[in-house]
């Protein structure tokens, strides 16, 4: 649907053009609850919504920080980082089921089997798969919590998301009143949470604050519980918010001065940052040329956007000022891209090879769009 990150994303295009705030929400129906909803733009999260940090730089996918899982109140005995492999814990609405790394799946499976040992096991609906299925629980989904255990996903911040049985079971298509486990082993270390985990759940992808929120709710009642920023409550179908605020969080440069990244109509003309380098390599021109290419890769911008503005030296110590300018033919940097660059600078995410010696990011700043940029060329050697 184009809700991911990147220039082709519907979300990024709407945000960059000031149509909506940098957030969207999806509400998923349950086994016996029809409907669903999508909200493009910001909402005022209900007070009982549970949030997890989401790191946009770790992978191209929306991820959360899951620390552990409890089944029937007991923590699964797993090593630290069991849900933090490769891409971490990825939330993917386009995937039907959930996939844990093998040891996590085995622990989860065994905990469920122990809790419902009194139910009869039956073969799955497809003989080609070794599904774990049970019969004898009845057809009424609302009664499943009386039979199957409650599951808790615990985030790194200590917050917990409660999962009911329909968040990890699916109906057996060939046996009435039978259910199968909707969690499967993953051949790699990434944990993948598909749509089954967020049934009857409002999920808010708050990209402007790098977090994802969860609220257990009946999607048909969503509009009575959620407030929309700057827009009347829409009909219970797919409806966008009319919130046009372009919210970029207020952050400070390392020197403590304001970053000059402002919400609303503010356009970033260019971004500057200083880097101190200590190196024994006498070929400064070669170093700076290679640094230009590496910085463009680290900040995910075109090589032509990275400009060397100034160099001062004292023996083998250099202070280099760089500028990040708009991609031609644009005359400003979109708020989404500017925010991404600033967060990488603020969090010191630029990683350089050891051959460049010691380096340190110093001051950085975002300048507003101007009619004339002045000098944008490279320094000649």
Q: Report the pLDDT value the prediction gives residue 119, as an integer from 0 to 100.
A: 96
Residue 60 lies in domain: 10-228
Pairing state between β 36-40 and 24-28: antiparallel
Contacts of 210 (CB under 8 A, 6+ apart): 53, 54, 55, 56
**How confident is the model over 353-371, as a mean pLDDT?**
71
Tokens representing 315? Answer: 């023996």
With b for 16 or more beta-carbon neighbours within 10 A and e for fewer, the 193-218 pattern comes to bbbbbbbbbbbbbbbbeebbbbbbbe
Q: Which of 48, 21, 1, 25 is nearest to 202 (CA)?
A: 25
165 in a domain, yes or no? yes
Q: Do 211 and 273 have their domain in common? A: no
**What distance in Å separates the CA atoms of residue 97 and residue 198, rounded to the nearest whole number?**
10
Q: Which of 301, 241, 243, 238 is nearest to 268 (CA)?
A: 301
Confirm if 101 and 85 have CB atoms less than 8 A apart: yes
Q: Do 110 and 32 have their domain in common? A: yes
Contacts of 240 (CB under 8 A, 6+ apart): 20, 39, 40, 41, 234
249 in a domain, yes or no? no
Helix (H, G, I), strand (E, B) or coil at 373: coil
**What distance in Å separates the CA atoms of residue 267 and residue 312, rounded to the nearest whole number?**
30
Confirm if 27 and 202 have CB atoms less than 8 A apart: yes
User: At 145, is the pLDDT very low, low, confident or very high (cuts 50, 70, 90)?
Assistant: very high
Q: Do 224 and 279 have their domain in common? A: no
28 in a domain, yes or no? yes
Confirm if 199 and 178 have CB atoms less than 8 A apart: no
Q: Report the pLDDT value the prediction gives residue 266, as an integer from 0 to 100.
A: 57
Confirm if 363 and 254 have CB atoms less than 8 A apart: yes
Q: Do 60 and 188 have their domain in common? A: yes
The model's pTM: 0.61
Confirm if 49 and 213 have CB atoms less than 8 A apart: yes
Q: Do 74 and 178 have their domain in common? A: yes
| CA 184, 187, 189, 190 torsion-angle sign | negative
Q: Do 87 and 187 have their domain in common? A: yes
Q: What are phi and psi of 55, to 5 degrees?
A: -95, 105
Percent of the chain beyond pLDDT 70? 79
Range of lowest pLDDT (159-163, 226-230, 256-260, 280-284): 256-260
**How confident is the model over 318-324, as a mean pLDDT?**
86
- Domain finish residue from 199, 228, 257: 228
DSSP 8-state assignment for residue 25: E
Tell me the C-alpha to C-alpha distance, in Å, between residue 198 and each of 16, 109, 173, 218, 366: 29, 19, 21, 11, 39
Q: Do 63 and 207 have their domain in common? A: yes
Q: Do 145 and 207 have their domain in common? A: yes
Q: Report the pLDDT value the prediction gives residue 34, as an integer from 0 to 100.
A: 62
253 in a domain, yes or no? no
Q: Which of 169, 183, 178, 196 is nearest to 123 (CA)?
A: 178
Q: What is the CATH number of the domain that holds 342?
A: 3.30.70.150
299 in a domain, yes or no? yes
Q: What is the CATH number of the domain that holds 179?
A: 2.40.70.10
Q: Do 187 and 315 have their domain in common? A: no
Q: Do 36 and 88 have their domain in common? A: yes
Cis (ω within 30 of 0) for the bond into 368? no
Q: Do 110 and 186 have their domain in common? A: yes
Q: Which of 267, 306, 343 is nearest to 56 (CA)?
A: 343
Tell me the C-alpha to C-alpha distance, in Å, between residue 337 and each of 135, 258, 271, 293, 312: 52, 18, 11, 18, 29
Q: Report the pLDDT value the prediction gives residue 354, as an integer from 0 to 100.
A: 67
373 in a domain, yes or no? no
- Domain finish residue from 228, 253, 283: 228
237 in a domain, yes or no? no
Please tell me which of 191-205, 221-235, 296-310 the model is most confident about, judged by mean pLDDT: 191-205
Residue 111 pLDDT greater than 90, yes or no: yes
Q: Which of 214, 217, 33 is nearest to 141 (CA)?
A: 33
Helix (H, G, I), strand (E, B) or coil at 265: coil
CB atoms within 10 A of CB 235: 8
- When divided into structural domains, the chain yields a total of 2
**How confident is the model over 130-148, as a mean pLDDT?**
93
Q: Do 167 and 42 have their domain in common? A: yes
Helix (H, G, I), strand (E, B) or coil at 315: coil
Helix (H, G, I), strand (E, B) or coil at 143: helix
Residue 199 pLDDT greater than 60, yes or no: yes
Range of lowest pLDDT (9-13, 100-104, 184-188): 9-13
378 in a domain, yes or no? no
Q: Which of 91, 92, 199 is nearest to 151 (CA)?
A: 199
pLDDT single digits (tens) 150-187 = 999 999 999 999 999 999 999 998 888 999 999 999 98
pLDDT, averaged across the chain: 80
């Amino acid at each position: 649907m184009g809700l991911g990150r990147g220039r082709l994303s519907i979300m990024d295009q709407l945000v960059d053009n000031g149509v909506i705030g940098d957030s969207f929400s999806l509400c998923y129906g349950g086994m016996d609850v029809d409907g669903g909803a999508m909200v493009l733009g910001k909402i005022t999260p209900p007070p009982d919504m549970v949030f997890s940090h989401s790191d946009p730089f770790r992978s191209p996918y929306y991820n959360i920080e899951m620390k552990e899982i409890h089944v029937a109140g007991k923590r699964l005995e797993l090593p630290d980082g069991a849900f933090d492999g490769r891409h971490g814990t990825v939330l993917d609405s386009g995937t039907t089921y959930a996939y844990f790394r093998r040891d996590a799946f085995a622990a989860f499976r065994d905990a469920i089997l122990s809790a419902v040992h009194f139910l009869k096991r039956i073969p799955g609906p497809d003989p080609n798969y070794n599904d774990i299925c049970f019969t004898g629980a009845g057809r009424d989904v609302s009664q499943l919590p009386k039979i199957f255990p409650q599951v808790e996903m615990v985030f790194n911040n200590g917050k917990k998301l409660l999962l009911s049985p329909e968040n990890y079971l699916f109906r057996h298509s060939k046996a009435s009143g039978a259910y199968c486990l909707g969690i499967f082993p993953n051949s790699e270390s990434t944990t993948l949470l598909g749509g089954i985990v967020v049934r009857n759940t409002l999920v808010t992808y708050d990209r402007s604050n790098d977090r994802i929120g969860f609220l257990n709710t009946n999607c048909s009642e969503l509009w009575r519980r959620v407030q929309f920023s700057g827009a009347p409550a829409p009909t219970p179908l797919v409806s966008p918010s009319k919130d046009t605020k372009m919210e970029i969080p207020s952050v400070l440069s390392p020197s403590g001065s304001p970053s000059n990244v402002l919400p609303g109509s503010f356009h970033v003309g260019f971004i500057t940052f200083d880097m101190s380098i200590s190196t024994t390599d006498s070929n400064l021109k070669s170093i700076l040329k290679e640094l230009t290419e590496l910085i463009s890769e680290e900040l995910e911008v075109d090589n032509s956007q990275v400009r060397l503005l100034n160099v001062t030296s004292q023996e083998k110590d250099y202070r280099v000022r760089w500028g990040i300018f708009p991609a031609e033919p644009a005359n400003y940097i979109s708020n989404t891209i500017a925010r991404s660059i600033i967060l990488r600078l603020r969090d010191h995410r630029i990683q350089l090879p050891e051959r460049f010696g010691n380096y340190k990011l110093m001051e950085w700043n975002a300048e507003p769009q101007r009619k004339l940029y002045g000098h944008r060329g490279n320094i000649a050697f």
